[in-house]
Structure 1
């Protein structure tokens, strides 16, 4: 599905979650895998209307991958929220304090069969190959660890 372009959001959601009768876990996983295998920079829809899901998805840079995942999950009938906080990225050094700094990362909590699970689409799809935070150091590679990660390991 990630290799195909969809004319509209409805078509995308039909192919992702409604064509088959999927469980909550399967819907959450399909959306996660679609996002982690899709080049979100090249996502396009025919004539997206202002304020529509298509417009939101094609302009995701104004938000985060976590907000896109939340949106897709909500249209798939799943309870999902975006969480914001701090992540120890390449700039982190032991002893650094996060107090009084703006949040630097977001991820999701999703309810699967009544239990809340953690999901991080952003870190599941790419990582930096060196300590320099620049586009040329981004490596796009899927890491399943970030789907339903145990909280003590996140």
Structure 2
């Protein structure tokens, strides 16, 4: 009789959890759709700004070209009037044509350099704007997840206590990001060998071969079977590093409801590994930050000073296993080059 009661209780509890899971998923999807609209608006703004700047450069170069061409033509006509011999006029004509060709080449080079400089400046601005938007959206997603987590734990606590069932003593994941501090436990005290993550790694590799229509579905497939926050972070890390985003080519007609279509920031050059990792962590309810600085990467030689933009890098810190842990997705996904 007791076994039957426990079985019924487990069935009801599992059913309640599934209903709550679907309800939370739907709310998470709605928030994601709101975020996607914000991203669409931002990318459209980027596109308008790029088009406007390109038109401005084109108009500037055209005005310069017309003025310089007018100057050359005026000089040519004046010199032609002074020359009476046909041979001299032929020489002037050839020289004038060569000057026009040189002018066109110079104007083209100037236009290309201006466009290149503009692209770098705008891309830097767009990356900063995208990072700020992801920061805001990640905060909103974490707030939603923390709210639902709190509601579920409170309801579950009352439900279990009402049935006289024991409550598990589990340290809750912090709803507010803890202050930076060195971890109390070393990495080797958390896990001994990466092989311990072989099962969640395989989940990430399998999910990477499938289609998902939203980050919500993607992350839930990744972390649904994870037993700890460190496994959640690991499977997100592994999913990202399976894909070499630096060498991926994106179709201009890419549908938005495909895995690659979701990575619009990568396609537009405004999102990177560390921003994507932060975004996905927020969908899993994990605190994550982006850290900017310098790193001794491939090409660094002993004694080289960190100056200008050389060796600039970014990475993440994610709060798992009771502490902030560093993650470098970019290095995890690439091979060293030009390294002796």
| Structure with greater proportional helix content | 2
Question: Is the CA contact 1:73–1:79 (under 8 Å) kept in the aligned structure 2?
Answer: yes
1:21 Cα offset (Å)? 5.2
Aligned match of 1:149: none
1:42 Cα offset (Å)? 5.6
Matched, 1:30 2:238: no
User: How many pairs does the alignment contain?
Assistant: 126
* Structure 2 unaligned blocks of 5 or more: 1-206
Matched, 1:94 2:299: no
Aligned equivalents of 2:298, 2:266: Cα separation in 1: 28
After superposition, the C-alpha distances for 1:94-140 in whole angstroms (9 at most, x for unaligned) are: 211114x23611111111132111111111111234349xxxxxxxx
1:15 aligned to which of 212, 221, 232 = 221
Matching of residues 55-94 of structure 1 within 5 Å: 56-59=264-267, 61-94=269-302
* Structure 1 unaligned blocks of 5 or more: 133-154
Question: Residues 84 and 57 of structure 1: is their aligned pair in 2 closer, same or farther, counting only changes over 3 Å?
Answer: same
Query: Please, what is the CA RMSD of the aligned residues?
Result: 2.8
1:3 aligned to which of 197, 202, 209 = 209
Aligned equivalents of 2:239, 2:263: Cα separation in 1: 18
Aligned equivalents of 2:295, 2:209: Cα separation in 1: 31
Question: Residues 43 and 26 of structure 1: is their aligned pair in 2 closer, same or farther, counting only changes over 3 Å?
Answer: farther
Question: Is the CA contact 1:64–1:106 (under 8 Å) kept in the aligned structure 2?
Answer: no
3-state DSSP of counterpart to 2:292: strand
1:87 Cα offset (Å)? 1.2
1:90 Cα offset (Å)? 2.7
| Highest RCO, 1 vs 2 (Cα 8 Å, sep ≥ 6) | 1
After superposition, the C-alpha distances for 1:23-51 in whole angstroms (9 at most, x for unaligned) are: 11110011011111124336897436xxx
Q: Between Structure 1 and Structure 2, whose CA radius of gyration is higher?
A: 2
Structure 1 consecutive aligned stretches of length 4 or more whose deviation exceeds 4 Å: 42-45, 55-58
1:5 Cα offset (Å)? 2.4
Question: Is the CA contact 1:43–1:57 (under 8 Å) kept in the aligned structure 2?
Answer: no
TM-score, normalized by length of structure 2?
0.33
| Structure with greater proportional strand content | 1
Aligned match of 2:256: 47
Aligned match of 1:140: none
Aligned equivalents of 1:27, 1:76: Cα separation in 2: 7
